[in-house]
Structure 1
């Protein structure tokens, strides 16, 4: 079985640990990091908007692209070391949620961490990107809590018409 592990800063250790716990017999593990394009472009736009004052300093766009690539590589290396077994490291750039879904095509399992409000149970524990991935993944999804699940008492009450 091929397993895709979506790595996001701050939550990736839980996803890697989930492979070791729930998919230890996987024949292939791919560690995936996706960089959203545009951050460097936003910096360039802000820099260009300095109306003539921009010439005295270097444009930050290229440096931000370099830093982003270094950061992704370091995260993938740290995740590979934590996994402790052979794996494929995959870096993609694009709309994060769509790149994750595309990378999961043909996989036997996709491991995703909750990226929303992790202080309580419920739909708000999934942010926009994770919700899209869960709803559109072309394979089974293992959804993990980065720091253990909140208590059942944090679950929202049922709607008034179901009480």
Structure 2
């Protein structure tokens, strides 16, 4: 069995805990982190367009790429430690939702956390990326709440009957 665990800053502990609770120990676990290329790319473009190309060592995009890489490594280190069992670490760069779906190809399970409104039950508890992943995942998805689930009284009312 191969399980992909989508790690996102702020919600990753719930995903790792779900694996520890619901996935047999002998399972091949892959911790996945996906970085968006947008911010460093914008900084590269701004520097090149507005400030010139004469000093590439001053390009702020390079520093942002280094910060992204260091942040991803720290997150993966913390997740590996919390998991407490052998795992594979996978870092990807690109459109997050598409990279997660691509990484889940051939997997038996994808573990993900809700990324939208976590104050109430309902469809808005999934953000844009989470909705895309749930709708397009090529395998079953274990969707977890990053904290305790909201009370059942937060379910939106039914539409009025006509």
When residues 71 and 27 of structure 1 are mapped into structure 2, their CA distance, relative to the original with a 3 A threshold, is same
Residue 50 of structure 1, CA deviation: 3.5
Query: Is the CA contact 1:121–1:154 (under 8 Å) kept in the aligned structure 2?
Result: yes
Normalised TM-score (structure 2): 0.93
Partner of 2:106: 106
Query: Is the CA contact 1:2–1:26 (under 8 Å) kept in the aligned structure 2?
Result: no
Q: How many residues align?
A: 162
Q: How does 1:148-163 map to 2 (within 5 A)?
A: 148-161=148-161
Structure 1, 38-47 or 125-134: larger mean CA deviation? 38-47
Residues 47-87 of structure 1, C-alpha deviations (whole Å, 9 max, x = no match): 345356x96x9210111111101111110110000000000
Normalised TM-score (structure 1): 0.92
Query: Is the CA contact 1:14–1:113 (under 8 Å) kept in the aligned structure 2?
Result: yes
Gaps of 5+ in 2: none
Partner of 2:86: 86
**RMSD over aligned Cα atoms:** 2.0
Partner of 1:63: 63
Q: What is the CA–CA distance in structure 1 between the aligned matches of 2:28 and 2:48, rounded to whole Å? A: 45
Residue 148 of structure 1, CA deviation: 1.2
